[in-house]
Structure 1
Amino acid sequence: MLTGSFTFVAMTYNVWGDAHLEQREPAIRDLLETRPPDLLATQELRPGSRAVIDAALPGHERVHDDFPGWAVQSNLWWRTELFTHVEHGAHDVGILDEHARLFWVRLRAADATDLVFATAHLTWPGHRDERADRANRRTGQAEAVVAALDEIAGTAPCLFTVDINDIGEPLWVLGNGGFLDSFTALGRTSPVTHPVAPLPFATGRGTRLSPLGSPAKAIDWIFARGPVTTRASEVVEFFSAGIAPSDHKPVAATYTLPPG
């Protein structure tokens, strides 16, 4: 590590809404108590899962805001010993779900470096509008994310976490916008992040709209841009008493900010 540099762990996690939350709640808590990240971004958040995360991360703070999306779509947590809140926002980038936005927070690290930490959950390919005209909505959404983060973060360190719901062009858009995922940065490819299998629930796997169900794929990512160095990256395998915390696997990555 460089002298005076600042290292931290970020995690992104799609927490699967309210599905089977009563059964999954202990596993969510166990995951975060066993593997507490310094920064946590969530997708498919609900008030119930938000309360579980708050209880599991007592040394963290999150965004408090009246906009409903921070309770029913996404929120962002940070370890208060390492980061302080500067400002936050929610930008409309065209995601086709009520209250869905690009959610972001500007944090000041303990070394006085500012970092933008952001998340989004791009539109599901089975959305009725996309099924009607076969037009990929996620490419335009990724372009809007890059434009928004150009304005919000500029050349400062920036982490963008996402359930991208795609395996092609939206990833290229982010790459062309200067964002490098935590696996490519280390000369690796990402393991599968969705779906978790087997799940110990009587539940449908994936979507009824396809005879394939939900093919195994990597759709959960942490991207970085600016003066921040990727040190390690992992798709986290975790079960608690045989229960998976979600139908997605969390992605965790270790980063270093240069000396301030």
Structure 2
Amino acid sequence: MPLTSTTFVAQTHNLWGDHVAEQRRAPLDAMYRHRQPDLLATQEQRPWSRDLIDDAMPEHSRVNDEFPGWATQSCLWWRRDLFEYVEHGADDVGILAPDARLFWVRLATADGPILFSVAHLTWSGHPKEQETGTNQRTPQAAAIARRLAELADGAACLFAVDINDIGPPNWEFGNNGFLDSFTALGRHSPVTHPVVPSGFEESVGTRLSPLASPRKAIDWIFLRGPVRARAAEVVEFFHRGVAPSDHYPVAATLTLTRD
């Protein structure tokens, strides 16, 4: 696939809601002042973290929409000198958290359009999954893959996700023509959750079990269409010994192709 001149860095980052927010505010600000991706997708965002990123990345625009999920769940940013906004949307794909959706924006570049999207699949500790014993993420992944095929219509498609799983939902994307940025480079992803050591006080175990969360890769950038991965990284960043979140960001350097 011949490469174009449009190369950029995309990043996904779970911002961990309001947990230990005061300890993490300065590290989060420092990260997005020091390491600014060209495209950014977030999960577990809150209004304060969205506004902090706005201030840290003044050369970027983001989706502005009254739907609450753009403030309380996810948002999408792009560098204004590389991308031109076309349209955006938020589609219900069965994710169980309030105002959680498949969030997307269509962008134009000198070498063709990009569909940039994000979602946060349902946590395995959700009451419905605990009651039924049924994986909620696989049908969500299937619905997302179908919707992205409709929206992209052959354009370069980027999907950022906290997938909250290590099996069937990932396979669903792979079987629908997506590659994650690490597989595309013949690599396995390093761990993305949890960040250890974090620099802030935390307990072992959850309200559902005394067991510690296993270290795993659950944060991904999936690609389909005329776009090629050139590099992929799980970003390690600390500010005065404190991490911005309990998830590492994942960044990928990507180039649009001509075919």
TM bucket (normalised to shorter chain) is over 0.9
Q: Distance in 1 between matches of 2:174 and 2:63?
A: 28
Letter in 2 for 1:48: W
**Partners in 1 of 2:169 and 2:256 — Cα distance?**
26
Q: Which residue of 2 aligns with 1:49?
A: 49
2:4·2:255 contact (CA, 8 Å) conserved in 1? no
TM-score, reference length from structure 1: 0.96
What is the number of equivalent residue pairs in this alignment? 259
Listed as ranges, the matches of 1:100-179 within 5 Å are 100-109=100-109, 111-179=110-178
**In structure 1, C-alpha distance between the alignment counterparts of 2:133 and 2:14, rounded to whole Å:** 25
What displacement does 1:34 show?
1.4
Query: Percent identity between the aligned chains?
Result: 62
Q: RMSD of the alignment, in Å?
A: 1.5
Amino acid in the other structure paired with 2:107: L
Deviations 1:234-258 (A, max 9, x none): 0001101001000000000000012
What is the letter of the counterpart of residue 229 of structure 1? R
- The Cα offsets for residues 65-116 of structure 1, whole Å up to 9 and x where unpaired, read as 010000000000000010011000000010010000000000012x151100
Contact 1:117 1:160 in 2 (8 A): yes
Q: 1:117 to 1:188 in 2, by over 3 A?
A: same
Q: Hey, what does 1:39 align to over in structure 2?
A: 39
Corresponding residue SS for 1:194: coil
What is residue 194 of structure 1 aligned with on the other side? Answer: 193
Whether the aligned pair in 1 keeps the contact of 2:73 and 2:99 (CA below 8 Å) is: yes
Aligned in 2, Cα 1:115/1:210: closer, same or farther, shift over 3 Å? same
Regions of 4+ moved over 3 Å = 1-4
Secondary structure of residue in 2 paired with 1:5: strand
SS across alignment from 1:131: helix
- Residue 133 of structure 1 deviates from its aligned partner by 0.8
Mapped partners of 2:154, 2:198: distance in 1: 42
Partner of 1:213: 212
Structure 1: stretches of 5+ with no match in the other structure: none
User: How far 1:5 moved relative to its partner?
Assistant: 2.2
Residue 198 of structure 1: how far off its partner (Å) = 1.7
Whether the aligned pair in 2 keeps the contact of 1:6 and 1:259 (CA below 8 Å) is: no
